[in-house]
A and B are shown apart, each in its own frame.
Chain A
Amino acid sequence: MVPGDHFFIMTAQSLFLRMLSQELYPLAMTASGRAAQPSIPA
């Protein structure tokens, strides 16, 4: 593995997942205050 190469995000997961968690947390909190999206068309 080369640090920063094409597969780095998928191989150095713990570092990346901390970064992704910071992006996901506010999304999940915002989503919790909203109703589910409208029903899916058949």
Chain B
Amino acid sequence: MATIANRWILQPKPNPQATLRLFCFPFAGRGAQSFRAWPEALPSAVEVCPVQLPGREGRMKEPPFPSVSPLVDALTAAILPALDKPFAFFGHSMGALIAFELAWKLAGEYKLTPECVFASARVAPSVTIPRAPINKLPQADFLQALRGLNGTPKEVLDDAALMELMTPLLRADLAVHEDYVYADKAPLECPIVAFGGLQDSEAGRMVSMRGSGTPRVSSSCAWCRATTSSS
């Protein structure tokens, strides 16, 4: 059976019968293991392909990318061989930004369009994150700010040796997420479905906001302007 897996694209449960591949992009500091339960939980017609970025899990020895553009350039070359059937992207927070930028590059340069981009817990790329960046803070302040973000387990934050190992990755990932500068882009032609929690101050109080249609609950329609799709 042909495999599409490489060091970027994982294929934990190969499914040649699948009609759709879902590529999943993790949030800052995390890796493909975040999606380990997904193949069993999603429809059998969907093949889950977690994306493993440098600097984590099995790629711990590789330096992480500190900005989105070179990351997407490298990722494009790795993912192209896996786009031989319909596909969709899911990304959480930093992962949503990577998914959007990759979709935009694939559409513009290769005429390849996802069936859908699922973006969770992130404001649209055209909107500045509604908090101050933390990725360049002095270490003590950085650790304190990480505690405030509530995304790193307390046991990890309290382990000095582990944090020394994790800090370069966290700073680089947060730089991808926080230092991103939006350049005006043509909207994607595929639907965008954005998810966010009501208590998520960073994502702008979105709840399952779909493409350019009517938001179910939203305080911002910036994601709507990133697509021409009305489905």
Taking beta carbons and an 8 Å cutoff, which residues of A are in contact with B?
2-10, 13-14, 16-17, 19-21, 23-25, 27-32, 34, 36-38, 40-41
**Which residues from B are CB-within-8-Å of A30?**
115
Q: Does B65 count as interface, using CB distance less than 8 angstroms?
A: no
B207 closest partner in A (C-beta): A4
CB of B121 within 8 Å of the partner chain: yes
Question: Which applies to chain B's interface (DSSP): helix, strand, loop or mixed?
Answer: loop
**B93 contacts A by Cβ under 8 Å:** yes
B179 proximal to A (CB < 8 A):
no
With contacts A5-B197, A5-B199, A9-B121 taken as known, whether A36 is within 8 angstroms of B85 at the C-beta atoms is yes
Q: Is B144 engaged at the interface, CB distance under 8 Å to the other chain?
A: no
Residues on A with beta carbons closer than 8 Å to the beta carbon of B88:
24, 27
- Asked whether any CB of chain A lies closer than 8 Å to the CB of B202, the reply is yes
Option from B37, B86, B90, B203 in Cβ contact (under 8 Å) with A13: B37
Give Cα distance in the complex from A37 to B113, angstroms: 9
Query: Is A27 touching B199 in the complex (CB atoms < 8 A)?
Result: no
Given A6-B121, A10-B27, residue A17 in contact with residue B41 (CB < 8 A)? yes
B77-106, CB < 8 A from A:
80-81, 83-86, 88, 90, 92-93
* Cβ contact within 8 Å between A24 and B121: no
B43 at the interface (CB under 8 A from A): yes
Indicate with 1 or 0, residue by residue over B177-192, a CB within 8 angstroms of chain A CB atoms: 0000000000000000
CB nearest to A28 among chain B residues: B45
> How far does the alpha carbon of A9 sit from the alpha carbon of B208 in the complex, in Å?
11
> Do B112 and A6 touch (CB < 8 A)?
no
